[in-house]
Amino acid sequence: MSTPLLFQPVRFRSVTARNRIVVSPMCQYSANDGLGNDWHVQHLGARAAGGAGIVFTEATHVSAVGRITPHCLGLYNAEHQALLGRLAGVITQGGSVPGIQIAHAGRKASSQVPWQGGKPIPLSEGGWVPLAPSALPSVPGATDPRALSGGEIGDIIGQFAATAAMAREAGFKILEIHGAHGYLGHSFLSPVSNRRNDAYGGDADGRSRFLLEVVEAVRGEWPSELPLWVRLSCSDWVAGGLTIEDTVALARRLAATGQVDLIDCSSGGVSHEQTIPSHPGYQVPFAEAIRHRAGIATGAVGLITEPTHAAEIVANGRADVVLLARAILADPGWAWRAARALGVPADVPSQYLRAGL
């Protein structure tokens, strides 16, 4: 039997991954002042040793005010960079390509960690004022965000570029800009959260300006031989919000820049009124539509748990890679199990051969 496409190498620019299984960015909410620790090292190291082709850090924030919670990972000073360099090294040692997702939480900043309820933290309890395109809170009762001035938008674009430079120096080989889930990039894109009437608001051209300028600034620091991905929410799942048609049009613009190599296709997050028809693979049609209609590689994500399902997605050209979160959180060796299920020799470290995998 020929090797299933899922387990064939995939190349983006100068970077080749051993297979098309990607560990999706998954926030661990375990950092202090943006600085990670041994939890992050063992967490990502285990998933690299577990056979995935590409392993991403969690959302890594470009500023303190841009963190989702007080315990989110950051990359905006030298101390952060040293830890991130260790993370890139341990992922590489495990045989995976190290990827980093860089982010700004925007109006969803200053929140509790999920296991404490995930609610906005009041200013009186140590919270901070979030930043956003418009002064619209993410949920009722949250602190009103401060609408960014044009100069402040430029400053944040510069923060993305500075973080990209530090990521390059730390040894990461793929960089992803987070433009989804209601965070800052997405909140500029969506008419639900962007009510500006200047150059960064209004029609789709204005609302996409921030993201396009971030891409350009990041590319100024990210080497031309290394791939750049963008995560998008392909649908807001709410009336008046973004639809797949809007996202296909945006993906075409990103592809036309020649700067972006893959669209990581997620959805939702901008409105607490969203209604998502969640089921295994519910977001795969987004990846398929963008791949075929925008002419750019895509990643499929969203309740993909079974090896045969993952293999079908790439075999049928619905996406170029699959990104796993919950399944690989529960089973760091998911790629080994998938290989065995699909009749492929598992890429098991010598130290683990006695496990009989």
Interval 5-42: pLDDT, tens: 999 999 999 999 999 999 999 999 999 999 999 999 99
Please report, rounded to a whole number, the percentage of residues in the chain having pLDDT higher than 90: 94
The Cα-based distances of 128 to 67, 75, 121, 133, 220 in angstroms read: 10, 19, 8, 16, 31
pLDDT score for 330: 95
Q: For 152-211, what is each residue's pLDDT tens digit?
A: 999 999 999 999 999 999 999 999 999 999 999 999 999 999 999 999 999 999 999 999
Mean pLDDT calculated for residue range 88-117: 97
Give CA–CA dist 32/130, Å, rounded.
Answer: 19
Beta-bridge partner residues of 233: 266
Is residue 357 over pLDDT 80?
Answer: no
pLDDT of 223 over the 80 cut: yes
To 10 degrees, what angle do helices 244-257 and 204-219 make? 40
Q: Active site includes 183? A: yes
**pLDDT band at residue 290 under the 50/70/90 scheme:** very high
Give pLDDT, residue 347. Answer: 83
Output 350 or 242, whichever has higher pLDDT: 242
Residue spans of beta strands (DSSP E) within 193-320: 228-233, 262-266, 297-301
- Confidence (pTM): 0.97
pLDDT score, position 233: 98
Among 311, 305, 325, CA closest to 264: 325
pLDDT band at 287 (very low <50, low <70, confident <90, very high): very high
pLDDT score of 304 more than 70? yes
Contacts of 70 (CB under 8 A, 6+ apart): 32, 121, 126
Strand pairing category for 15-17 and 146-147: unpaired
Residue 346 has pLDDT above 90, yes or no: no
Kindly state the tokens that stand for 52: 């995935």
pLDDT the model gives residue 278? 87
- Residue 1's pLDDT is what? 59
The pLDDT of residue 356 is above 80:
no
| Mean pLDDT, residues 129-156 | 96
List domains and CATH numbers for the chain: 5-345 (3.20.20.70)
Residue 231 in tokens: 């995560």
- What is the distance between the alpha carbons of residues 20 and 16, in angstroms, rounded to a whole number? 10
pLDDT confidence of residue 352: 85
Active-site residue, from 29, 183, 200, 282: 183
* Token pair 């993201």 in the structure block, residue: 211
SS3 readout for 86-136: HHHHHHHHCCCEEEEEEECCHHHCCECCHHHCCCECCHHHCCCCCEECCCC
Task: Give mean pLDDT, residues 269-293.
Answer: 95
Res 241 pLDDT > 90: yes
Output the average pLDDT for the chain: 96
Separation CA 86–CA 120 (nearest Å): 32
pLDDT of residue 350: 87
Pairing of strands 15-17, 10-12: antiparallel
